[in-house]
Structure 1
Amino acid sequence: MYSTNTAHTVQTVLKPNNRSLAFDANRIRVYGERIMEDYPHLEIERWHRSVLTKLRSSSVQAAEITQAGIMSALELVSREEPDWKFVAARSLLTKLYKEAAVHRNYKAYPDKPYGDFYKLIKRLVEIGVYRQELLDAYTPEEIRDLGAAIEPVCDELFDYIGLLTLRERYLATDFDTRTMELPQERYMVIAMYLMHQEPAERRVELAKEAYWAMSNLYMTAATPTMANAGKKVAGQLSSCFIDTIDDSLEGIFDSNTDVARLSKMGGGIGVYLGKVRARGSDIRGHKNTSSGVIPWIRQLNNTAVSVDQLGTRKGAIAVYLDVYHKDILSFLDLKLNNGDERMRAHDIFHGISIPDLFMEAVEKREDWHLFCPHEIKKVMGWTDANGRPLGLEDFYDEKFGEGTFREKYAEAVANIQLSRITLPAIDIMKRVLKSQLETGTPYMFYKDAANRANPNKGHGMIYSSNLCTEIFQNMSATVVEHEELVTKDGQTRIVITKTPGDFVVCNLNSIHLARAVRADVLDRLVPIQVRMLDNVIDINNIEVLQAQHTNRRYRAIGLGTFGLHHLLALEGIAWESDKAVTFNDNLYERINFLAIRSSMELAKEKGTYELFPGSEWENGGYFEDREYTTGTRVGEFITTEQWQQLAADVRENGMRNGWLMAVAPNGSTSIIAGSTASIDPVYELLSYEEKTTYKIANPAPDLSDKTMWFYKTAFRLDQHASIRMAAARQRHIDQGQSFNLYVRPDIRAVEFLELHLHAWRDGMKSTYYVRSQALTVEECESCSS
């Protein structure tokens, strides 16, 4: 039956160890039966014929047969038969197992594909791929014990694109880029490294627990952690950072240097420029001398391009400016493709910080006034308790419709000494909408909502967000105080003294909702995730010292989620339904409860974060503001009494972490886990990953006759339904969520505006990209958790 012309053409199979075998087409079929044993509904004959037709020489390498098996399975992937992607993955696994066995000098068997784990650790430490801490923290016996806990069967959870992504971006190789580390070993090494500073008596147990969470794909670590944990590389483990630029030449250039250093290490950067004086402002009394923020943004743009991330891709930097800053109009045009190129920065991402008062002015079609922050401080004379000058950016509205910012803004408007630009607020919003449809940005950061919900509002201000709009933490500028020549022991040095600001750091990982919720493992999963994130803070060595300082004062983490649409489809819940809103509300309340309880338990074990006293965690405001303890909004999973008890426990024992939750984009890591990204709807039922010589079909996860009815695609969905779900989640997320809007290019301006007004009215803290079918935007790799 299988004696085709191809079978007669191929005579010899060449093996890696210089052996050769007579070609036998039936052996390929037997191999196919093994990799397809869990998919009896797929037709093996079609795959087998396709493999044979791809073998055209008289002698072929064994690797060519494996590759033919991969390509044949990929060609059969369709909406009707999506499981071929798992067959392709198993064929790729075979290739990885064989490569690792050859390069590490062991024999791989189908039922035992992994080699000696201790030998791998020892060898890769010796050649400088792994870190020495792995051997210092664990004994050989412990490492062998951990190796015995590795579950090769978990490799079968990957689909092809997930496994390929893991192999190309994350698995450790030697310096000749040869396959050394296998998927489950990557997860175990991450677990070992994140737990290596835990007490010796619990270290192995905790590493096994972290491995359980990752290997079963109940969660993913963020890209920097996935790529770098346990490896002796230049990269670090935190995902991204936010800096606040001081209004001084030293502050601006120092910030640029810090951004370059962090970008070099693979971090994504957010930069707030709202304190920098506007174009035409005075400098040391000299009138009309300031060039404004645009030239400094162009410098950051050059930094992003020239200081790439670990030699692989250009840096990723987002800049934020307040909507009442005098330079806002030129800022909004930064990424447009027409106009004066000297005022453009095409490689930068941009976002605007928006108070409630501006959105009200847009609704009412009222005028809006733009000011220079330097002039505001000089003329208005506002100061804090320590006598430091304050600007409009240092205030927010404590409650909707009233509060400090609008009072200060009114004072500024009434002061005739202040120069200003006045124009209708709707005209600014039109510029925003135009830029979003053309470039996908600016991001929208709703400052009052962010600061009202800040659990550490007593310690600072949130001016903007990060590169992916999910991080909301206290920010302040690092100030260069002075520099001096110091001579000691005959050595002369220049000593620069700085007062460190709050330089935000985000440490991320994410729950795979479709697997963890349906497996009912959240109670076990969240505590180990919180511990993993907390340990990143102590392990990570950040070159920028004020970032290191802030990271350890607040110990902020960002527990996120992905696979929401995947979960809704499996549960049979329509995206646009009221049931979906309620489901989100209850689910994220449960996750939040578990995260807070986990951080409180860690505080009992290891101590609270430094600034817990005076926080909303301590005084109970966090729980009251969200109506957890009032009995007025009771969820499905957590009772009012449970919340009241947890609030009391937090007051008594403290919190280990100042912020807990942030929902990141999860681009590449959700691909590895075979699920839908973040909180986004599925883009297409069958999308394609472009490679240099072919396209790989990628069906929606668990696509079937049942789920396809609940996989309404992104551009067909009512975006107001997405906003309602996001608003329900936001109450339970102390930071933010990377929330995208999907719009058609022909959307009417009034409809587009109403989406933004809806998001703002419902208490959203931010929106991320505006995605149009005519627009391609580049994801942030660092926040792909």
Structure 2
Amino acid sequence: MKVTVITKDNGNRELPFDKDRLSRFIDKISSDYPDLSISDYKNEVLTNIEFKDEYSSEQITNLLALNASERIDRFEPDWTYVAATIYLHKLYKEASKNRAYDTDQKYGSLYGLLKVLGSKGVYDQTLLRDYSKEEIMELGQTIEPERDKLFSYVGILTLAHKYLATDKSSNVFELPQERFMVIAMKLMINEPSAYRLELVKEAYWALSNLYMTVATPTLTNAGKNTGQLSSCFIDTVEDSLRSIFDSNTDVANLSKNGGGVGIYFGKLRSRGSDIKGYKGVAGGIMGWMKQLNNTAVSVDQLGQRQGAFAVYLDVWHKDIFEFLDAKLNTGDERLRTHDIFTGACIPDLFMEKVENREDWYLFDPHEVKTVMGWSLEDFYDEKQGSGTFREKYQECMDHPELTKERVPAIEIMKRIMKSQLQTGTPYMFYRDTVNRTNPNKHEGIIYSSNLCTEIMQNMSPTTVQEEYLSEEGKIITEKVPGDMVVCNLSSISLARAVTNDVLERLIPIQVRMLDNVIDLNTIDVLQARHTNQKYRAIGLGTFGWHHLLAIKGISWESEEAVELADQLYEKINYLTLTASNQLATEKGAYPLFEGSEWNTGRYLERSYGIENHDGSISWSDNKWKELSEDIQNDGLRNGYLIAVAPNATTSLIAGSTASIDPVFRQEHVEEKKGFRSPVTAPDISSKTIWYYKSAFNIDQSWSIKQNAARQKHIDQSISFNLYIHRSIKAKELLGFHMQAWKSGLKTTYYTRSTSTLIEDCESCSS
């Protein structure tokens, strides 16, 4: 009788195939899932092995995982955990071999890991310098290998392929729970030694239970020697050659470390404007967008992926039509920037003109500044229906010396929707709504958003003040730093955290982790570092909304879902502000707190109070009154606090649904660099399957209602996608945009149609 030979240790050892041993292993790893068809799986695996004369132990492991993963579907979704267990067994085996400990232990010495990867130049030496051996040994004892069982197959594949620390030859050293512990150690490294270990353990608890995820750059780089920890950035470009090229250099430096960048081009002169008095010679913004496009392609983040940039432009800019066509696959290729995402900055007045089918006027920002003495983009409407922007816009319309182009507002909107149907962009940025609710309007204005439309923070350009040759022969450049926005992101796994009722415990440690990222970060661009310290802005977000609805048995298209969004995000806002207030008491408020709407109490009064005739405030709940008083007395640690990012990648790791989005379908195949795996909607069962309606089959007006309910409790914004069929009528799509604007949404992200394929920004994945 033929016996299959099993080879081990790269063929150095040969053993006869032990069928019973493998059968027992399969029984062991599947024992928690009695409803699976284990006998069929076992027979297929054993038959495959016995058919060949020789199999390596690595091939058997791969066969087991592959065969289990191929069985993942909505009827037997638990195969994902069987496949994950097999893959984890492979990781344990490789790590133990490389680190020289017994595989049965699963995890080796944390101290030993820090020593070996520190010596190889992978880990940051500060971990060994600032923590004693005894402290590290204690933290090593805290690690819970059993929490690896929480990973789905696609979750552990994603974590292992993209985030776990290896040596420089890509050999496995770090394991999942060690990645979480190293992140916790790094983020708490500067906390007072008296209670630092308790904070590390608390951060590890939050991460290892998959109650939250940190942003992709933090997940990748925390504790390592390379990279920075922030997700993305926003730059403002001044209308000068120096500013344009300096900005290009800055965004290239940010991009090389994995940061996505939003760039505001609204100050740049339009095509046909004058340069130094010479009429009609300016080339407009498209040439500079082409330059950025080349930078995005060339600065490819160590070969991992090309850079990710989004450019924003105001709808009154004379180049708006060229801008809106920039990503189309038809037309003049010299005016196309296929690798740049676009965003339209839209005032209330424009939407009113669209609704009333009135004319709209386009201007050249350079000419407006020259003739009028001010810049139109520096104003917004302080109240709905009235304000400084529309007054200044009218002045521009009426000025006899100012050139202008008149177009029907609906024609611009048609061009926006055409581009959205073909490319998914432009994003929509409702600038008046954004600036009216800006808690830090005492220090500036918000011109645009970031790559994923969830960040809303003050912006201004960096300018060169002086440049001279010193006596030593060195060129000295002095710059006035503008507000270059930095996004520090992290997200709550709603389904897991809400179901286990841990929000009150989770959010304080999460806010502390985010706040510590600000001080630990090493950002190459100095004005970004400066802005980070001034505002100490964070972006606490969420994912797993559809997952939570399914578990609770709530239909997406229901008032119950809208009400849950309202109540849940109010709670998250309250807990986040409370945590930041307590941190301010401990560590001090952010430097620009004085004069902010947090300081005056106006922000929370507007959100949770009603002003009476006598000027007093009637609060929706007395807890908000008390919190507002605490903040006014003791401050806030962070100037901006909540932002809901797309987080498609890290939600996969945590085994949940992305952001606040509905699922595309109940099951699909996830393809990433290095692996391919079937995926089902999380916790899908005979009970939950009815609540996992596909995104493209959901009435988007319900999604807008939900988002309006949560936006009331979010000081920044939300990466909110519209899902539409390719055959949608223009009137219906326009209706969704009008509803979003009237409902108080600050932004909409991609318009995803059944004909467009859009890759999510990994930088903002948190």
Question: What TM bracket, shorter-length normalisation?
Answer: over 0.9
What residue is the counterpart of 1:313 in the other structure?
Answer: 305
SS in 1 for 2:305: coil
What residue is the counterpart of 1:387 in the other structure?
Answer: none
What residue is the counterpart of 1:386 in the other structure?
Answer: none
Instruction: Describe the superposition over 1:28-71 as per-residue Cα deviations: whole angstroms up to 9, x where unpaired.
Output: 11101111121111122111112123324323211111111101
Matches of 1:214 and 1:244, distance apart in 2: 35
Whether the 8 Å contact between 2:152 and 2:655 is mirrored in structure 1 is yes
Matches within 5 A, 1:107-186: 107-109=102-104, 112-186=105-179
What residue is the counterpart of 1:764 in the other structure?
Answer: 745
What residue is the counterpart of 1:76 in the other structure?
Answer: 71
Whether the 8 Å contact between 1:228 and 1:237 is mirrored in structure 2 is yes
Amino acid at match of 1:177: S
Aligned to 2:686, which of 693, 705, 725? 705
What residue is the counterpart of 2:510 in the other structure?
Answer: 529
1:748 to partner: Cα distance: 0.4
Aligned to 2:459, which of 457, 475, 499? 475
Whether the 8 Å contact between 1:210 and 1:532 is mirrored in structure 2 is yes
Aligned to 1:404, which of 388, 391, 400? 388
Aligned to 2:429, which of 438, 445, 450? 445
Aligned to 1:40, which of 16, 25, 34? 34
The question of 1:583 aligning with 2:576 is answered no
Matches within 5 A, 1:565-714: 565-628=546-609, 640-690=621-671, 696-714=677-695
Aligned to 1:64, which of 42, 59, 65? 59
Matches within 5 A, 1:401-440: 401-440=385-424
Instruction: Describe the superposition over 1:643-683 as per-residue Cα deviations: whole angstroms up to 9, x where unpaired.
Output: 11100000000000000000000011000001000000011
What residue is the counterpart of 2:520 in the other structure?
Answer: 539
What residue is the counterpart of 2:191 in the other structure?
Answer: 198
Q: What is the TM-score with the length of structure 1 in the denominator?
A: 0.95
1:693 to partner: Cα distance: 10
The question of 1:250 aligning with 2:242 is answered yes
Whether the 8 Å contact between 1:267 and 1:309 is mirrored in structure 2 is no
1:695 to partner: Cα distance: 5.1
Matches of 1:503 and 1:494, distance apart in 2: 24
Aligned to 2:474, which of 477, 493, 510? 493
What residue is the counterpart of 1:635 in the other structure?
Answer: none
SS in 1 for 2:512: helix
Q: How many residues align?
A: 760
Matches of 1:11 and 1:225, distance apart in 2: 45
What residue is the counterpart of 2:371 in the other structure?
Answer: 379
Whether the 8 Å contact between 1:307 and 1:315 is mirrored in structure 2 is yes
Matches within 5 A, 1:286-365: 286-365=278-357
Matches of 2:333 and 2:7, distance apart in 1: 59
The question of 1:26 aligning with 2:29 is answered no
1:17 to partner: Cα distance: 9.1
Whether the 8 Å contact between 2:540 and 2:641 is mirrored in structure 1 is yes
Matches of 2:212 and 2:612, distance apart in 1: 32
Matches of 2:431 and 2:478, distance apart in 1: 31
Aligned to 2:535, which of 544, 550, 554? 554
1:204 to partner: Cα distance: 1.2
1:144 to partner: Cα distance: 0.7
Instruction: Name whichever of 25-34 and 505-514 sits farther off.
Output: 25-34
1:639 to partner: Cα distance: 6.5
Aligned to 2:97, which of 90, 94, 102? 102
What residue is the counterpart of 2:616 in the other structure?
Answer: none
What residue is the counterpart of 1:86 in the other structure?
Answer: 81
User: Matched residues, percent identical?
Assistant: 58
Whether the 8 Å contact between 1:443 and 1:766 is mirrored in structure 2 is yes
SS in 1 for 2:195: helix
Q: How much is the aligned-residue C-alpha RMSD, in angstroms?
A: 1.5
Whether the 8 Å contact between 1:714 and 1:742 is mirrored in structure 2 is yes
Amino acid at match of 2:667: L
SS in 1 for 2:652: helix
1:283 to partner: Cα distance: 1.1
Whether the 8 Å contact between 2:608 and 2:620 is mirrored in structure 1 is no
Matches of 1:432 and 1:124, distance apart in 2: 51
Flag structure 1 segments of 5+ consecutive residues without an equivalent: 382-389, 633-637
What residue is the counterpart of 1:749 in the other structure?
Answer: 730
1:731 to partner: Cα distance: 0.6
Aligned to 2:443, which of 449, 452, 459? 459
| Shift in alpha-carbon separation, 1:526–1:359, aligned structure 2, 3 A | same
Instruction: Name whichever of 288-297 and 511-520 sits farther off.
Output: 288-297
Amino acid at match of 1:37: S
Matches of 1:761 and 1:692, distance apart in 2: 41
Matches of 2:408 and 2:478, distance apart in 1: 44
| Shift in alpha-carbon separation, 1:166–1:422, aligned structure 2, 3 A | same
Matches of 1:555 and 1:284, distance apart in 2: 40
Whether the 8 Å contact between 1:10 and 1:59 is mirrored in structure 2 is yes
Matches of 1:40 and 1:639, distance apart in 2: 50
Matches of 2:256 and 2:81, distance apart in 1: 36
Matches within 5 A, 1:217-236: 217-233=210-226, 235-236=227-228
Matches of 1:211 and 1:447, distance apart in 2: 39
Matches of 1:542 and 1:302, distance apart in 2: 23
What residue is the counterpart of 1:260 in the other structure?
Answer: 252
1:572 to partner: Cα distance: 0.7
Amino acid at match of 1:38: D
What residue is the counterpart of 1:384 in the other structure?
Answer: none
Amino acid at match of 1:83: D
Matches of 2:621 and 2:538, distance apart in 1: 26
1:495 to partner: Cα distance: 0.7
Matches of 2:250 and 2:731, distance apart in 1: 41
| Shift in alpha-carbon separation, 1:693–1:49, aligned structure 2, 3 A | farther
The question of 1:393 aligning with 2:377 is answered yes
Matches of 1:694 and 1:227, distance apart in 2: 18
Whether the 8 Å contact between 2:135 and 2:197 is mirrored in structure 1 is yes
1:631 to partner: Cα distance: 11
SS in 2 for 1:422: strand
Whether the 8 Å contact between 2:124 and 2:224 is mirrored in structure 1 is yes
Whether the 8 Å contact between 1:271 and 1:320 is mirrored in structure 2 is yes
Matches of 1:566 and 1:187, distance apart in 2: 23
Whether the 8 Å contact between 1:631 and 1:640 is mirrored in structure 2 is no
Matches of 1:150 and 1:499, distance apart in 2: 47
Flag structure 2 segments of 5+ consecutive residues without an equivalent: 614-618
Matches of 2:39 and 2:72, distance apart in 1: 15
Matches of 1:749 and 1:172, distance apart in 2: 49
Matches of 1:777 and 1:769, distance apart in 2: 8
Matches of 2:708 and 2:728, distance apart in 1: 23
